[in-house]
Structure 1
Amino acid sequence: MRTEQAAPVLGIAGCLAAVAALALPFALFPGWGAELGQYYTGGPLGVGAVLAFALVGVVVFLAGARGRTDATTAAGIAVPLGVVAFLVALSWALSASLDPLFGFPASWITELRWVVLAATGLVTLAAGLYARATLG
């Protein structure tokens, strides 16, 4: 598979992984919505923007891969989108307090921030590969 075809697939996978990671705690533990909301809004920017960027990223990567948008334009949109999503996730991961999650019924919640960061890193990597493939 060529990079120009594989990169959008990788980007979509990263975007969906970020969305799934952020939604999973709410789906599994609906009674913890207030605490999760407080955790997600922690840090300088919170993590809500990452969710928005990930959803837009799916559309951008799909549009480029399916030819609805010029591949160079889609890659040009995906790169800053991925970088900003990664930086917002990084700021949240490094500064959000785990205090609202004291007593949370699943220990994996403390590692969720790193999963979100890895997913946005995957989006950024895929966007960079996509840009390189379309411009090269």
Structure 2
Amino acid sequence: MRTEQAAPALGIAGCLAVVVALALPFALFPGWGAELAQYYTSGPLGVGAVLAFALVGIVVFLAGARGRTDPTTAAGIAVPLGVVALLVALSWAFMAPLDPLFGFPASWIRDFRWVVVAAAGVVAAAAALYARATLA
């Protein structure tokens, strides 16, 4: 498979991974919605911005892959989108306190922030690969 086709597919997968990762705790623990909301909104910007960037990223990668948008334009939009999503995820991961999660019924939530950072990293890496493939 060519990089011009694989990179957008990887970007879409990374964006979907962000969306699923952020929705999964709400699906698994519906009674803890207020605590999770407090956790998601903590930090400088909160992780909601990463979710918004991931949703826009799906559209950008799909538009470039399906030819609805010029691939260089789509890649040019995807790169800053992915980088900013990764930076926001990192700022949330380092700055969000775990205090609102005191008493949360699962211990994996403490490392959950790094799953979101990894998924956002996949989006940024795929965008960089896409840009490299379209500009070469």
TM-score by length of 2: 0.98
Which residue does 1:134 correspond to in 2? Answer: 134
Please state if 1:71 is matched with 2:68. Answer: no
RMSD over aligned Cα, in angstroms? 0.6
Which residue does 2:35 correspond to in 1? Answer: 35
Structure 1 unaligned residues grouped into runs of 5+: none
Alignment of 1:35-114 (within 5 A): 35-114=35-114
Per the TM alignment, residue 122 of structure 1 is displaced from its structure 2 partner at its CA by 0.4
Identity across matched positions, percent: 85
Q: Tell me the amino acid that sits aligned with residue 52 of structure 1.
A: A
The count of residues paired between Structure 1 and Structure 2 equals 136
Alpha-carbon deviations, 1:40-70, whole Å to 9, x = none? 0111111100000000000100010011111
1:89 and 1:30 map into 2 onto residues whose CA distance is 23
Per the TM alignment, residue 34 of structure 1 is displaced from its structure 2 partner at its CA by 0.6
Which residue does 1:13 correspond to in 2? Answer: 13
1:121 and 1:19 map into 2 onto residues whose CA distance is 14
Per the TM alignment, residue 102 of structure 1 is displaced from its structure 2 partner at its CA by 1.2
* 3-state SS in 2 of match to 1:75: helix
Alpha-carbon deviations, 1:53-89, whole Å to 9, x = none? 0000001000100111110010000000000000000
Per the TM alignment, residue 96 of structure 1 is displaced from its structure 2 partner at its CA by 0.2
Structure 2 unaligned residues grouped into runs of 5+: none
Q: Spell out structure 1 runs of 4+ moving beyond 2 A.
A: none
